[in-house]
Amino acid sequence: MIPVADFWNSTVGKKTVVAVTGTILVGYLILHMVGNLNSLFGPGGAEPRVDWYSGWLREIAEPLFPYAGVLWLARVILLGSIVIHITGVLQLNSRNRAARPSRYPARRIGRSWESGTMLVSGLLVLAFIIFHILQFTTLSITVTPLEHGAVYFNLYNAFQEWYFVVIYLAALVLVGIHLRHGIWSLVQTLGLDSPARNRGIRYGATALTLVIVIGFALVPVLFWTGVLGAPETEAAIASLAGGTA
Amino acid sequence: MKFKLEIWRQFETGEEGHFETFEVDGIDPEASFLEMLDQLNERLTGEKRRTVAFDSDCREGICGSCSLVIDDTPHGPRQVTSCQTYMRDFEDGSTIRVEPFRSTSFPVIRDLVTDRGALDRVIQAGGYTGATTGPQPEPNSMPVAPEVQERAMDAAICIGCGACVAACPNGSAMLFTGAKVTHLNLLPQGQPERANRAIAMVDQMDQEGFGGCTNFGECSRVCPQEISLDVIGMLNREYRRGRLGKRPKDPPAMRAQ
Ligand code: HEM
Ligand code: FES
Protein backbone atom coordinates (compact mmCIF):
# COMPACT_ATOMS: atom_id res chain seq x y z
CA MET A 1 0.00 0.00 0.00
CA ILE A 2 1.18 3.50 -0.72
CA PRO A 3 1.52 5.44 2.53
CA VAL A 4 -0.66 8.29 1.32
CA ALA A 5 -0.34 10.36 4.49
CA ASP A 6 3.47 10.22 4.46
CA PHE A 7 3.50 11.27 0.83
CA TRP A 8 1.12 14.16 1.40
CA ASN A 9 2.94 15.33 4.52
CA SER A 10 6.33 15.70 2.89
CA THR A 11 7.15 18.85 0.97
CA VAL A 12 8.19 16.86 -2.08
CA GLY A 13 5.13 14.62 -1.99
CA LYS A 14 2.73 17.51 -1.54
CA LYS A 15 4.36 19.41 -4.35
CA THR A 16 4.01 16.32 -6.53
CA VAL A 17 0.28 16.29 -5.79
CA VAL A 18 0.10 20.00 -6.67
CA ALA A 19 1.81 19.20 -9.95
CA VAL A 20 -0.49 16.26 -10.76
CA THR A 21 -3.64 18.27 -10.04
CA GLY A 22 -2.11 21.15 -12.00
CA THR A 23 -1.59 18.76 -14.92
CA ILE A 24 -5.22 17.64 -14.75
CA LEU A 25 -6.30 21.30 -14.83
CA VAL A 26 -4.01 22.09 -17.75
CA GLY A 27 -5.33 19.04 -19.60
CA TYR A 28 -8.85 20.28 -19.01
CA LEU A 29 -7.95 23.78 -20.21
CA ILE A 30 -6.68 22.35 -23.49
CA LEU A 31 -9.88 20.35 -24.03
CA HIS A 32 -12.05 23.33 -23.06
CA MET A 33 -10.13 25.60 -25.41
CA VAL A 34 -10.51 23.20 -28.33
CA GLY A 35 -14.21 22.80 -27.52
CA ASN A 36 -14.71 26.56 -27.50
CA LEU A 37 -13.24 26.80 -30.98
CA ASN A 38 -16.52 25.25 -32.19
CA SER A 39 -17.88 28.80 -31.93
CA LEU A 40 -15.68 29.78 -34.85
CA PHE A 41 -18.00 27.85 -37.19
CA GLY A 42 -20.32 30.84 -36.76
CA PRO A 43 -24.09 31.14 -36.29
CA GLY A 44 -24.72 28.38 -38.88
CA GLY A 45 -28.46 28.85 -39.42
CA ALA A 46 -30.82 26.67 -37.39
CA GLU A 47 -28.30 25.23 -34.99
CA PRO A 48 -24.89 26.79 -34.38
CA ARG A 49 -22.12 24.23 -34.25
CA VAL A 50 -21.16 25.21 -30.69
CA ASP A 51 -24.74 24.58 -29.50
CA TRP A 52 -24.62 21.13 -31.05
CA TYR A 53 -21.26 20.57 -29.33
CA SER A 54 -22.70 21.61 -25.99
CA GLY A 55 -25.54 19.12 -26.41
CA TRP A 56 -23.12 16.41 -27.46
CA LEU A 57 -21.06 16.95 -24.29
CA ARG A 58 -24.14 15.98 -22.31
CA GLU A 59 -24.87 12.91 -24.40
CA ILE A 60 -21.40 11.33 -24.31
CA ALA A 61 -21.53 7.63 -23.45
CA GLU A 62 -25.31 7.55 -23.22
CA PRO A 63 -26.97 5.16 -22.39
CA LEU A 64 -24.01 3.74 -20.46
CA PHE A 65 -23.97 6.91 -18.40
CA PRO A 66 -27.08 8.98 -17.66
CA TYR A 67 -27.68 12.27 -19.48
CA ALA A 68 -24.81 14.68 -18.65
CA GLY A 69 -23.19 11.92 -16.58
CA VAL A 70 -19.73 12.25 -18.08
CA LEU A 71 -20.01 16.01 -17.80
CA TRP A 72 -20.73 15.74 -14.10
CA LEU A 73 -17.93 13.25 -13.63
CA ALA A 74 -15.54 15.74 -15.22
CA ARG A 75 -16.91 18.50 -13.01
CA VAL A 76 -16.34 16.45 -9.87
CA ILE A 77 -12.77 15.61 -10.92
CA LEU A 78 -12.06 19.26 -11.73
CA LEU A 79 -13.51 20.56 -8.49
CA GLY A 80 -11.54 17.96 -6.55
CA SER A 81 -8.36 18.89 -8.42
CA ILE A 82 -8.79 22.60 -7.74
CA VAL A 83 -9.50 22.03 -4.06
CA ILE A 84 -6.49 19.73 -3.65
CA HIS A 85 -4.27 22.02 -5.75
CA ILE A 86 -5.07 25.07 -3.65
CA THR A 87 -4.94 23.23 -0.32
CA GLY A 88 -1.50 21.88 -1.18
CA VAL A 89 -0.29 25.24 -2.40
CA LEU A 90 -1.46 27.12 0.69
CA GLN A 91 0.03 24.55 3.06
CA LEU A 92 3.35 24.60 1.22
CA ASN A 93 3.29 28.35 1.21
CA SER A 94 2.91 28.63 4.98
CA ARG A 95 5.72 26.10 5.50
CA ASN A 96 7.93 28.03 3.14
CA ARG A 97 7.26 31.28 4.92
CA ALA A 98 8.11 29.69 8.26
CA ALA A 99 11.43 28.43 6.87
CA ARG A 100 12.61 31.93 6.08
CA PRO A 101 13.16 34.86 8.41
CA SER A 102 11.06 37.72 7.11
CA ARG A 103 12.32 40.18 4.51
CA TYR A 104 15.56 38.40 3.80
CA PRO A 105 17.51 38.60 1.63
CA ALA A 106 16.32 41.71 -0.10
CA ARG A 107 17.87 40.91 -3.43
CA ARG A 108 16.21 38.31 -5.61
CA ILE A 109 18.47 36.68 -8.12
CA GLY A 110 17.24 35.39 -11.40
CA ARG A 111 13.79 34.07 -10.67
CA SER A 112 11.13 34.87 -13.20
CA TRP A 113 8.43 37.23 -12.00
CA GLU A 114 5.80 34.69 -13.04
CA SER A 115 7.22 32.24 -10.53
CA GLY A 116 7.12 34.84 -7.79
CA THR A 117 3.47 35.68 -8.36
CA MET A 118 1.94 32.18 -8.61
CA LEU A 119 -0.24 32.63 -5.54
CA VAL A 120 -1.61 35.95 -6.77
CA SER A 121 -2.18 34.81 -10.34
CA GLY A 122 -3.71 31.57 -9.07
CA LEU A 123 -6.15 33.25 -6.71
CA LEU A 124 -7.22 35.76 -9.36
CA VAL A 125 -7.77 32.88 -11.79
CA LEU A 126 -9.91 31.21 -9.11
CA ALA A 127 -11.98 34.37 -8.78
CA PHE A 128 -12.41 34.42 -12.55
CA ILE A 129 -13.41 30.74 -12.65
CA ILE A 130 -16.22 31.46 -10.19
CA PHE A 131 -17.39 34.47 -12.20
CA HIS A 132 -17.17 32.50 -15.43
CA ILE A 133 -19.30 29.62 -14.09
CA LEU A 134 -21.88 32.08 -12.80
CA GLN A 135 -22.04 33.70 -16.20
CA PHE A 136 -22.13 30.89 -18.75
CA THR A 137 -22.99 27.78 -16.74
CA THR A 138 -25.55 28.86 -14.18
CA LEU A 139 -26.55 31.87 -16.34
CA SER A 140 -26.78 34.05 -13.25
CA ILE A 141 -25.10 37.17 -14.58
CA THR A 142 -27.96 38.54 -16.62
CA VAL A 143 -26.45 41.82 -17.72
CA THR A 144 -26.78 40.48 -21.27
CA PRO A 145 -29.55 38.11 -22.44
CA LEU A 146 -28.78 34.44 -21.66
CA GLU A 147 -30.74 31.33 -22.69
CA HIS A 148 -30.34 27.71 -21.61
CA GLY A 149 -28.65 25.61 -24.28
CA ALA A 150 -28.13 28.59 -26.61
CA VAL A 151 -24.36 28.82 -26.26
CA TYR A 152 -23.72 30.84 -29.40
CA PHE A 153 -26.46 33.28 -28.52
CA ASN A 154 -25.08 33.73 -25.00
CA LEU A 155 -21.52 34.25 -26.18
CA TYR A 156 -22.58 36.65 -28.90
CA ASN A 157 -24.51 38.82 -26.50
CA ALA A 158 -21.90 38.85 -23.75
CA PHE A 159 -19.06 39.76 -26.08
CA GLN A 160 -20.88 42.70 -27.61
CA GLU A 161 -20.03 44.41 -24.32
CA TRP A 162 -16.48 45.71 -24.16
CA TYR A 163 -16.18 45.12 -20.43
CA PHE A 164 -16.83 41.40 -20.72
CA VAL A 165 -14.23 41.19 -23.47
CA VAL A 166 -11.76 43.01 -21.21
CA ILE A 167 -12.50 40.74 -18.22
CA TYR A 168 -12.00 37.60 -20.29
CA LEU A 169 -8.79 38.82 -21.91
CA ALA A 170 -7.41 39.94 -18.55
CA ALA A 171 -8.20 36.53 -17.05
CA LEU A 172 -6.41 34.87 -19.95
CA VAL A 173 -3.31 36.96 -19.33
CA LEU A 174 -3.39 35.75 -15.71
CA VAL A 175 -3.80 32.14 -16.82
CA GLY A 176 -0.84 32.69 -19.14
CA ILE A 177 1.29 34.06 -16.31
CA HIS A 178 0.35 31.12 -14.09
CA LEU A 179 1.03 28.54 -16.75
CA ARG A 180 4.27 29.92 -18.11
CA HIS A 181 5.87 29.00 -14.82
CA GLY A 182 3.42 26.24 -13.96
CA ILE A 183 3.88 24.03 -16.99
CA TRP A 184 7.66 24.10 -16.77
CA SER A 185 7.45 23.70 -13.03
CA LEU A 186 5.28 20.61 -13.17
CA VAL A 187 7.75 18.86 -15.45
CA GLN A 188 10.50 19.66 -12.95
CA THR A 189 8.36 18.65 -9.97
CA LEU A 190 7.47 15.33 -11.54
CA GLY A 191 11.14 14.83 -12.34
CA LEU A 192 10.43 14.25 -16.02
CA ASP A 193 13.17 16.62 -17.05
CA SER A 194 16.69 15.74 -18.00
CA PRO A 195 19.69 17.97 -18.55
CA ALA A 196 19.50 17.37 -22.28
CA ARG A 197 15.83 18.27 -22.54
CA ASN A 198 15.60 21.19 -20.15
CA ARG A 199 15.83 24.06 -22.62
CA GLY A 200 13.25 22.42 -24.81
CA ILE A 201 10.92 22.03 -21.85
CA ARG A 202 11.20 25.74 -21.02
CA TYR A 203 10.36 26.78 -24.57
CA GLY A 204 7.70 24.10 -24.79
CA ALA A 205 5.99 25.46 -21.67
CA THR A 206 5.92 28.97 -23.13
CA ALA A 207 4.65 27.67 -26.47
CA LEU A 208 1.86 25.59 -24.92
CA THR A 209 0.89 28.57 -22.76
CA LEU A 210 0.64 30.77 -25.85
CA VAL A 211 -1.47 28.22 -27.70
CA ILE A 212 -3.89 27.96 -24.76
CA VAL A 213 -4.14 31.73 -24.26
CA ILE A 214 -4.53 32.59 -27.95
CA GLY A 215 -6.96 29.73 -28.52
CA PHE A 216 -9.21 30.99 -25.75
CA ALA A 217 -8.79 34.66 -26.72
CA LEU A 218 -10.00 34.08 -30.28
CA VAL A 219 -13.60 33.63 -29.17
CA PRO A 220 -14.22 36.94 -27.35
CA VAL A 221 -12.08 38.86 -29.84
CA LEU A 222 -13.89 37.50 -32.91
CA PHE A 223 -17.31 38.18 -31.41
CA TRP A 224 -16.32 41.69 -30.39
CA THR A 225 -14.86 42.59 -33.77
CA GLY A 226 -17.97 41.30 -35.51
CA VAL A 227 -16.22 38.51 -37.42
CA LEU A 228 -18.66 36.11 -35.77
CA GLY A 229 -22.13 37.39 -36.64
CA ALA A 230 -25.44 37.52 -34.82
CA PRO A 231 -27.24 34.23 -34.08
CA GLU A 232 -29.79 33.19 -36.73
CA THR A 233 -32.07 30.78 -34.87
CA GLU A 234 -35.69 31.87 -34.69
CA ALA A 235 -35.76 31.93 -30.93
CA ALA A 236 -32.67 34.08 -30.87
CA ILE A 237 -34.06 36.55 -33.39
CA ALA A 238 -37.30 36.79 -31.46
CA SER A 239 -35.47 37.25 -28.18
CA LEU A 240 -33.15 39.89 -29.56
CA ALA A 241 -36.07 41.75 -31.13
CA GLY A 242 -37.88 41.62 -27.80
CA GLY A 243 -34.79 42.86 -26.02
CA THR A 244 -34.41 45.93 -28.18
CA ALA A 245 -38.11 46.78 -28.49
CA MET B 1 41.07 50.76 -0.96
CA LYS B 2 38.59 52.12 1.53
CA PHE B 3 35.21 50.72 2.54
CA LYS B 4 32.36 51.31 4.88
CA LEU B 5 31.08 48.01 6.27
CA GLU B 6 27.67 47.39 7.77
CA ILE B 7 28.13 44.15 9.65
CA TRP B 8 25.52 42.04 11.43
CA ARG B 9 26.32 41.80 15.16
CA GLN B 10 24.58 39.30 17.38
CA PHE B 11 26.25 38.02 20.52
CA GLU B 12 24.43 34.70 20.74
CA THR B 13 21.57 32.62 19.40
CA GLY B 14 18.21 34.13 20.15
CA GLU B 15 19.52 37.58 20.89
CA GLU B 16 18.19 40.42 18.78
CA GLY B 17 20.90 41.41 16.31
CA HIS B 18 21.71 44.73 14.68
CA PHE B 19 24.00 46.21 12.05
CA GLU B 20 27.18 47.92 13.20
CA THR B 21 29.13 50.21 10.90
CA PHE B 22 32.91 49.99 10.55
CA GLU B 23 35.35 51.86 8.32
CA VAL B 24 38.34 50.06 6.85
CA ASP B 25 41.18 51.73 4.99
CA GLY B 26 44.35 50.67 3.21
CA ILE B 27 42.83 47.47 1.83
CA ASP B 28 44.77 45.73 -0.93
CA PRO B 29 42.51 45.17 -3.96
CA GLU B 30 43.96 41.66 -4.17
CA ALA B 31 42.86 40.87 -0.60
CA SER B 32 40.03 38.39 -0.29
CA PHE B 33 36.89 39.40 1.52
CA LEU B 34 37.92 37.30 4.50
CA GLU B 35 41.40 38.86 4.58
CA MET B 36 39.74 42.24 4.67
CA LEU B 37 37.70 41.08 7.68
CA ASP B 38 40.90 39.70 9.26
CA GLN B 39 42.40 43.16 8.94
CA LEU B 40 39.37 44.68 10.60
CA ASN B 41 39.54 42.12 13.40
CA GLU B 42 43.23 42.81 14.04
CA ARG B 43 42.40 46.42 14.48
CA LEU B 44 39.45 45.63 16.78
CA THR B 45 41.70 43.38 18.88
CA GLY B 46 44.17 46.24 19.20
CA GLU B 47 41.36 48.51 20.31
CA LYS B 48 40.24 45.83 22.81
CA ARG B 49 36.85 45.58 21.12
CA ARG B 50 34.95 42.38 20.35
CA THR B 51 36.03 41.00 16.99
CA VAL B 52 33.60 40.07 14.23
CA ALA B 53 32.99 36.31 14.28
CA PHE B 54 32.83 34.56 10.90
CA ASP B 55 33.40 31.04 9.64
CA SER B 56 36.28 29.95 7.43
CA ASP B 57 38.58 27.03 7.01
CA CYS B 58 40.28 26.19 3.73
CA ARG B 59 40.05 29.68 2.21
CA GLU B 60 40.44 28.13 -1.19
CA GLY B 61 36.84 27.54 -2.09
CA ILE B 62 36.53 23.83 -1.34
CA CYS B 63 35.41 23.32 2.24
CA GLY B 64 32.17 25.27 2.28
CA SER B 65 32.78 26.87 5.70
CA CYS B 66 32.69 30.51 4.74
CA SER B 67 29.16 31.79 4.64
CA LEU B 68 28.66 35.52 4.29
CA VAL B 69 25.78 37.28 2.67
CA ILE B 70 27.47 40.21 0.96
CA ASP B 71 25.23 43.01 -0.26
CA ASP B 72 22.14 40.76 -0.04
CA THR B 73 23.72 37.98 -2.09
CA PRO B 74 24.87 34.73 -0.48
CA HIS B 75 28.67 34.56 -0.83
CA GLY B 76 28.86 37.82 -2.76
CA PRO B 77 28.59 39.21 -6.26
CA ARG B 78 30.69 36.71 -8.25
CA GLN B 79 29.02 33.34 -7.64
CA VAL B 80 32.13 32.06 -5.88
CA THR B 81 32.59 31.33 -2.17
CA SER B 82 33.08 34.30 0.19
CA CYS B 83 36.74 33.35 0.60
CA GLN B 84 37.21 33.53 -3.18
CA THR B 85 35.56 36.94 -3.40
CA TYR B 86 38.15 39.71 -3.81
CA MET B 87 38.02 43.33 -2.81
CA ARG B 88 38.84 44.42 -6.38
CA ASP B 89 35.27 43.44 -7.22
CA PHE B 90 33.94 46.27 -5.05
CA GLU B 91 33.94 49.95 -5.77
CA ASP B 92 36.47 51.94 -3.77
CA GLY B 93 34.76 53.92 -1.05
CA SER B 94 31.51 51.98 -1.28
CA THR B 95 29.38 50.68 1.56
CA ILE B 96 29.16 46.88 1.84
CA ARG B 97 26.53 45.06 3.87
CA VAL B 98 27.59 41.77 5.48
CA GLU B 99 25.12 39.34 7.03
CA PRO B 100 25.12 35.66 8.00
CA PHE B 101 23.36 33.02 5.86
CA ARG B 102 19.84 33.10 7.13
CA SER B 103 17.21 30.43 7.38
CA THR B 104 15.05 29.26 10.25
CA SER B 105 17.09 26.03 10.11
CA PHE B 106 20.42 27.89 10.41
CA PRO B 107 20.41 29.60 13.81
CA VAL B 108 22.99 32.35 14.20
CA ILE B 109 25.68 31.34 16.72
CA ARG B 110 27.47 34.67 16.77
CA ASP B 111 27.64 37.57 14.31
CA LEU B 112 28.22 35.96 10.92
CA VAL B 113 28.51 32.36 12.13
CA THR B 114 25.51 30.10 11.72
CA ASP B 115 24.88 26.54 12.80
CA ARG B 116 24.44 24.56 9.60
CA GLY B 117 24.21 21.23 11.41
CA ALA B 118 20.80 20.69 9.82
CA LEU B 119 22.59 19.88 6.55
CA ASP B 120 24.81 17.36 8.35
CA ARG B 121 21.74 15.64 9.73
CA VAL B 122 20.27 15.43 6.23
CA ILE B 123 23.49 13.69 5.19
CA GLN B 124 23.31 11.36 8.20
CA ALA B 125 19.81 10.37 7.15
CA GLY B 126 20.91 9.00 3.79
CA GLY B 127 23.95 10.67 2.30
CA TYR B 128 26.26 7.71 2.78
CA THR B 129 27.07 4.38 1.17
CA GLY B 130 27.62 1.04 2.81
CA ALA B 131 30.30 0.01 0.31
CA THR B 132 33.39 -1.27 2.03
CA THR B 133 36.55 0.66 1.49
CA GLY B 134 39.82 -1.13 0.96
CA PRO B 135 41.56 -2.24 -2.20
CA GLN B 136 40.16 -0.71 -5.38
CA PRO B 137 37.94 -3.05 -7.36
CA GLU B 138 39.14 -4.16 -10.73
CA PRO B 139 37.91 -1.26 -12.94
CA ASN B 140 36.25 -3.39 -15.59
CA SER B 141 34.24 -5.31 -13.02
CA MET B 142 31.92 -2.36 -12.48
CA PRO B 143 31.82 -0.12 -15.55
CA VAL B 144 30.25 3.35 -15.26
CA ALA B 145 29.21 5.06 -18.48
CA PRO B 146 30.97 8.39 -19.04
CA GLU B 147 27.69 10.37 -19.15
CA VAL B 148 26.63 8.86 -15.84
CA GLN B 149 29.99 9.55 -14.28
CA GLU B 150 29.83 13.14 -15.53
CA ARG B 151 26.37 13.75 -14.06
CA ALA B 152 27.35 12.16 -10.77
CA MET B 153 30.52 14.23 -10.51
CA ASP B 154 28.75 17.46 -11.48
CA ALA B 155 26.56 16.84 -8.41
CA ALA B 156 29.34 15.49 -6.20
CA ILE B 157 31.22 18.79 -6.33
CA CYS B 158 28.67 20.30 -3.92
CA ILE B 159 30.68 21.63 -0.97
CA GLY B 160 27.65 21.80 1.31
CA CYS B 161 28.04 25.49 2.09
CA GLY B 162 24.31 26.16 2.31
CA ALA B 163 24.24 29.19 0.00
CA CYS B 164 21.32 27.55 -1.80
CA VAL B 165 19.30 27.62 1.41
CA ALA B 166 20.31 31.22 2.08
CA ALA B 167 19.27 32.29 -1.42
CA CYS B 168 15.98 30.42 -1.56
CA PRO B 169 12.90 32.55 -0.82
CA ASN B 170 11.48 29.39 0.78
CA GLY B 171 14.58 28.49 2.76
CA SER B 172 14.61 25.16 0.94
CA ALA B 173 17.53 22.73 0.93
CA MET B 174 16.43 20.93 -2.22
CA LEU B 175 19.52 21.84 -4.28
CA PHE B 176 21.83 20.50 -1.57
CA THR B 177 19.82 17.33 -1.00
CA GLY B 178 19.28 16.88 -4.73
CA ALA B 179 23.01 17.09 -5.35
CA LYS B 180 23.74 14.41 -2.74
CA VAL B 181 21.00 12.10 -4.00
CA THR B 182 22.04 12.55 -7.63
CA HIS B 183 25.66 11.88 -6.79
CA LEU B 184 25.06 8.71 -4.77
CA ASN B 185 22.06 7.28 -6.61
CA LEU B 186 23.80 7.31 -9.98
CA LEU B 187 26.95 5.47 -8.96
CA PRO B 188 27.29 1.73 -8.30
CA GLN B 189 28.42 2.28 -4.70
CA GLY B 190 25.16 4.03 -3.92
CA GLN B 191 22.80 1.37 -5.24
CA PRO B 192 22.23 -0.75 -2.08
CA GLU B 193 20.62 2.15 -0.18
CA ARG B 194 19.08 3.73 -3.23
CA ALA B 195 15.42 2.84 -2.76
CA ASN B 196 15.24 4.58 0.58
CA ARG B 197 17.84 7.33 0.29
CA ALA B 198 15.70 10.11 -1.17
CA ILE B 199 12.84 9.35 1.24
CA ALA B 200 15.08 9.40 4.31
CA MET B 201 16.83 12.60 3.27
CA VAL B 202 13.63 14.42 2.32
CA ASP B 203 11.99 13.41 5.60
CA GLN B 204 14.97 14.76 7.53
CA MET B 205 14.92 17.94 5.44
CA ASP B 206 11.26 18.47 6.33
CA GLN B 207 11.90 17.75 10.02
CA GLU B 208 14.68 20.33 10.06
CA GLY B 209 12.15 22.91 8.95
CA PHE B 210 13.52 23.66 5.49
CA GLY B 211 10.88 24.91 3.05
CA GLY B 212 9.77 23.27 -0.18
CA CYS B 213 10.89 23.94 -3.73
CA THR B 214 8.83 26.20 -5.97
CA ASN B 215 11.29 26.01 -8.83
CA PHE B 216 12.44 29.62 -8.59
CA GLY B 217 16.00 28.58 -9.42
CA GLU B 218 17.71 31.18 -7.23
CA CYS B 219 19.72 28.49 -5.43
CA SER B 220 21.51 27.53 -8.60
CA ARG B 221 22.32 31.17 -9.37
CA VAL B 222 24.37 31.59 -6.19
CA CYS B 223 25.87 28.11 -6.03
CA PRO B 224 29.65 28.48 -6.11
CA GLN B 225 29.85 25.01 -7.67
CA GLU B 226 27.17 25.82 -10.26
CA ILE B 227 25.06 22.82 -9.37
CA SER B 228 22.20 22.68 -11.84
CA LEU B 229 18.50 22.62 -10.97
CA ASP B 230 18.42 19.24 -12.72
CA VAL B 231 19.43 17.62 -9.44
CA ILE B 232 16.10 18.72 -7.95
CA GLY B 233 14.23 16.98 -10.77
CA MET B 234 16.29 13.88 -10.01
CA LEU B 235 15.48 14.14 -6.28
CA ASN B 236 11.75 14.50 -7.01
CA ARG B 237 11.88 11.47 -9.28
CA GLU B 238 13.82 9.33 -6.84
CA TYR B 239 11.54 10.33 -3.97
CA ARG B 240 8.38 9.52 -5.92
CA ARG B 241 9.71 6.20 -7.16
CA GLY B 242 10.79 5.27 -3.66
CA ARG B 243 7.45 6.17 -2.12
CA LEU B 244 5.44 4.40 -4.79
CA GLY B 245 7.59 1.34 -4.18
CA LYS B 246 8.91 1.25 -7.73
CA ARG B 247 12.23 -0.31 -8.42
CA PRO B 248 14.68 2.47 -9.21
CA LYS B 249 15.71 2.72 -12.83
CA ASP B 250 19.21 1.47 -13.43
CA PRO B 251 21.66 4.07 -14.64
CA PRO B 252 22.26 3.65 -18.39
CA ALA B 253 24.62 0.78 -19.10
CA MET B 254 28.10 1.18 -20.47
CA ARG B 255 28.19 1.22 -24.25
CA ALA B 256 30.99 -0.45 -26.20
CA GLN B 257 33.44 2.18 -27.42
C1 HEM C 1 -7.15 26.77 -14.29
C2 HEM C 1 -6.69 26.54 -13.12
C3 HEM C 1 -5.26 26.21 -12.77
C4 HEM C 1 -4.31 25.58 -13.50
C5 HEM C 1 -4.44 25.03 -14.88
C6 HEM C 1 -3.12 25.52 -12.69
C7 HEM C 1 -1.93 24.94 -13.07
C8 HEM C 1 -0.81 24.87 -12.28
C9 HEM C 1 0.37 24.14 -12.59
C10 HEM C 1 0.59 23.30 -13.82
C11 HEM C 1 1.26 24.31 -11.57
C12 HEM C 1 2.67 23.74 -11.44
C13 HEM C 1 2.66 22.57 -10.51
C14 HEM C 1 3.96 22.25 -9.85
O15 HEM C 1 5.04 22.31 -10.40
O16 HEM C 1 3.89 21.88 -8.70
C17 HEM C 1 0.64 25.17 -10.63
C18 HEM C 1 1.22 25.59 -9.45
C19 HEM C 1 0.64 26.47 -8.59
N20 HEM C 1 -0.67 26.92 -8.64
FE21 HEM C 1 -1.99 26.54 -10.05
N22 HEM C 1 -3.35 26.14 -11.51
C23 HEM C 1 -4.66 26.58 -11.52
C24 HEM C 1 -5.32 27.23 -10.53
C25 HEM C 1 -4.71 27.73 -9.41
C26 HEM C 1 -5.42 28.46 -8.41
C27 HEM C 1 -6.91 28.77 -8.42
C28 HEM C 1 -4.50 28.81 -7.48
C29 HEM C 1 -4.83 29.61 -6.27
C30 HEM C 1 -4.27 29.56 -5.15
C31 HEM C 1 -3.21 28.28 -7.90
C32 HEM C 1 -2.00 28.46 -7.26
C33 HEM C 1 -0.82 27.82 -7.61
C34 HEM C 1 0.42 27.98 -6.92
C35 HEM C 1 0.71 28.93 -5.76
C36 HEM C 1 1.32 27.09 -7.50
C37 HEM C 1 2.73 26.79 -7.03
C38 HEM C 1 3.70 27.53 -7.82
C39 HEM C 1 5.10 27.24 -7.46
O40 HEM C 1 5.43 26.12 -7.10
O41 HEM C 1 5.86 28.18 -7.57
N42 HEM C 1 -3.39 27.62 -9.09
N43 HEM C 1 -0.62 25.50 -11.08
S1 FES D 1 36.72 28.90 3.59
FE2 FES D 1 36.59 26.95 2.65
S3 FES D 1 35.24 27.44 1.01
FE4 FES D 1 35.57 29.39 1.84
User: For the domain that residue B216 is a member of, what is the CATH number?
Assistant: 1.10.1060.10
Lowest model confidence (mean pLDDT) among A176-190, B3-17, B218-232, B238-252:
B238-252
- ipTM summary value: 0.87
| B14 and B108 belong to one structural domain | yes
Residue B6, chain A, CB below 8 Å: the answer is no
If pLDDT is split at 50, 70 and 90, which confidence band does B251 have?
A: low
Mutate to test the interface with A, among B69, B216, B226, B246 (most CBs of A within 10 A): B216
Closest Cα to residue A158, out of A235, A74, A219?
A219
Closest Cα to residue B126, out of B192, B64, B172?
B192
Within a domain: B15? yes
| B97 and B109 belong to one structural domain | yes
Q: A109–B232: do the CB atoms touch at under 8 Å?
A: no
pLDDT for residue A199: 80
| B144 and B238 belong to one structural domain | yes
Residue B51 pLDDT > 90: yes
pLDDT for residue A244: 47
In chain A, which residues have their Cβ closer than 8 Å to the Cβ of B103?
Answer: 99-101
Q: Which residues of B137-147 are buried (b: 16+ CB within 10 A; e: fewer)?
A: eeeeeeebeee
Within a domain: B237? yes
If pLDDT is split at 50, 70 and 90, which confidence band does B257 have?
A: low
Alpha helices in B187-256 (DSSP H): 194-207, 218-222, 230-243
The interface residues of chain B toward chain A in range 176-235, judged by CB-CB distance below 8 A, are: 202-203, 205-206, 209-218, 221-222, 228-230, 232-235
Per-residue pLDDT tens digits for B97-145? 999 999 999 999 999 999 999 999 999 999 999 888 788 878 788 888 9
Kindly list the distances between the CA atom of residue A241 and the CA atoms of A142, A145, A234, B146, in Å, as whole numbers in the listed order.
17, 11, 11, 76
- When CB atoms are compared, the residue of B69, B206, B230 closest to A10 is B206
Sorted by where each starts, the structural domains of chain A and their CATH numbers stand as 4-99+114-238 (1.20.1300)
- When CB atoms are compared, the residue of A101, A107, A194 closest to B73 is A107
**For residues B77 and B89, is the Cβ–Cβ distance under 8 A?**
yes
How many folded domains does chain B comprise? 2
| B101 and B19 belong to one structural domain | yes
| B109 and B167 belong to one structural domain | no
| B123 and B244 belong to one structural domain | yes
Q: B211–A99: do the CB atoms touch at under 8 Å?
A: yes
- Average pLDDT for residues B79-92, to the nearest whole number? 96
Residue B102, chain A, CB below 8 Å: the answer is yes
Find the B53 Cα to ligand 2 centroid distance in Å.
15
Tell me which residues have their CB closer than 6 angstroms to ligand 1. Answer: A 15, 18-19, 22, 25-26, 29, 85-86, 89, 115, 118-119, 122-123, 125-126, 178, 182-183, 185-186, 189; B 214-215
| B94 and B121 belong to one structural domain | no
| B237 and B126 belong to one structural domain | yes
| B102 and B152 belong to one structural domain | no
| B164 and B227 belong to one structural domain | yes
CB atoms within 10 A of CB B111: 23
CATH code, B77: 3.10.20.30
Which regions of chain A are under pLDDT 50? 1, 244-245
**For residues B215 and A189, is the Cβ–Cβ distance under 8 A?**
yes
Within a domain: B32? yes
Per-residue pLDDT tens digits for A160-174? 999 999 999 999 999
Q: B210–A106: do the CB atoms touch at under 8 Å?
A: no
Q: What is the mean pLDDT of chain B?
A: 93
Within a domain: B180? yes
Residue B211 CB-half CA count within 13 A: 30
Partner residues linked to B32 by β-bridges: B86
Within a domain: B226? yes
CB atoms within 10 A of CB B73: 22
Q: B234–A181: do the CB atoms touch at under 8 Å?
A: no
In chain B, which residues have their Cβ closer than 8 Å to the Cβ of A186?
Answer: none
Give the containing element (helix H, strand E) for A180: helix A162-189
d(CA A57, CA A35): 10
| B109 and B177 belong to one structural domain | no
User: Residue B166 sits in which domain range?
Assistant: 116-130+140-254
Within a domain: B135? no
Within a domain: B187? yes
Q: Between A and B, how many residue pairs show a Cβ–Cβ distance under 8 A?
A: 144
Within a domain: B236? yes
The DSSP line for B237-251 is HHHHHHHTTPPPPPP
| B98 and B126 belong to one structural domain | no
